[in-house]
Structure 1
Amino acid sequence: MTTPTPPTPTPAQHSAGPRPRLLLVAHGTRSSAGRRELSRLLLETRKRFAGADGGARPATTPVECRMAWVDVQTPGPDKVLADGVPTVVIPAFLARGYHVTEDVAGACRDAPGPVALTPHLGAEPEIVRALVQRLAESGGTGAFGADAVVLGAAGSRDEASQAETRELAATMSEILGVPVTGAFASTAAPTATDAVAALRADGHRRIAMLTHLLAPGFFADRLANAGADLATPPLGAHPEIIDLLVRRYREYENEVGVDPAGQ
């Protein structure tokens, strides 16, 4: 089993002045466990920037890190961006869909200050490595690991979003060396339950649910109860996810103009 090698990053050229704010925009959840995990995501990102930013910047050049939500929780991204502070916005979504293309993009488009909107998290090498590690930690790899895997996502009516999940499932199948089916907790087909049942009908004896979600909550519970023999926890504040957030920020930081006099 091999994991993809990440591209060699090209360090951004920074000025010595203030840096743009980082705004993570997530879906929002009523789950207390989910809220704690997303709070950890923000905390670990703040800690990374309070250090040496992966060796690229000294700790004396801080980055303000905040979080906003498109549903259930507040504030929304429009409320945060209303102050006009130069901001790099990262949609903390694993696949595109209405919330990314409309809610987050719309808030950035209407913001009074300079904003750089990065792509959503997608199927970047950090995501793939985090998924492989979650599966290994849950006993889904190796001689006694799973002989088939369901890559369980939240689901979306957006066909491009569904296609992302299926393409990632194909990538995971190549890496893991077992069949991997993309499936969904809601909205899209196949459902996670149907995907597990289909693999059972094909003769697979040990099926893993590879949870392609950031945080615990309603969708994660659905995936965990879809009938697989084991289910991985959501990706949450996995170090690879923090690496990706830092990389996204660094790639887009210079696209935001910052007033050297202090915003």
Structure 2
Amino acid sequence: MAHSANLITTDDLARQLGAPALRVFDCTTYLKPGPDGRYIAESGRANYDKGHIPGAAYLDLQADLSDKNSKLRFTLPSLEDLTKAFAAKGVGHGTFVVLYSHASPVWASRIWWMLRAVGFDEVAILDGGLDKWKAEGRPLSTEPVTHPPATLSLRGRPEIFVDKDAIKGAIGDASMLTLNALSHDQHNGAGGVVYGRPGRIAGSSCVPAASLFGPDKALKPIAELRAAFEGVGAAPDKRVLVYCGGGIAATLDAFVLTALLGHRNVSVYDNSMQEWANDPALPMEVG
């Protein structure tokens, strides 16, 4: 498996459960195909209520941690508002946060990346998430948890999220790599859910987020992860801009590059294809 201070095993989390400074969060959202061929976002709260890791609270990305004034889904709020929201959920100075999700690690990595944006680094993702925890027969709880509000005041990293202008500026720049975390079919415009026009941002390469973890939802060995990114030219000296459909899957690519492979100049295009593919002035490619 991959090793990092930002990745925690089920064994390690089990040993730490009940520690006073520990804050565990279930971050799950579900994306379900809608009748128009696009996704419907569904809160993971109902599944959390059926059984979660003991001591874990629930973070609702769409309801509590997204810009309510945006017409696009999951848009990042201001870092000031986001910091306040995290503090209200119990993330603060002196706490250690563990994030997990069910069915895919991308929801945990999205919250990890958002915490990094506000400057909070005492946070790890549970490798394998709820799937691995349950497969190992570990205990679950149906008791709802609310962590006490905390104090949080940090220097943010606004540069780790970018907008469409930064993506436009990267096209044709050999010192930068724009990377698609959607499937190869979506990248090529050959199938899968589309967010507007099919295909990819012009000049971009592809490392699907879903290719980074196995059936147990744990991340693949570090050598395989490194090879996947080296295969598309993601050298450590390049600035890498990652996108997907709505800025969620992209954060798993960004997590692996940053937390596991040591890249220092990685950013996520927050609104991603839900914005880009619906603006005919923005260049796309298929094939």
TM-score, normalised via structure 2 length = 0.28
TM-score, normalised via structure 1 length = 0.30
Greater fraction helix: 1
More contact order relative to length (CA 8 Å, sep ≥ 6): 1
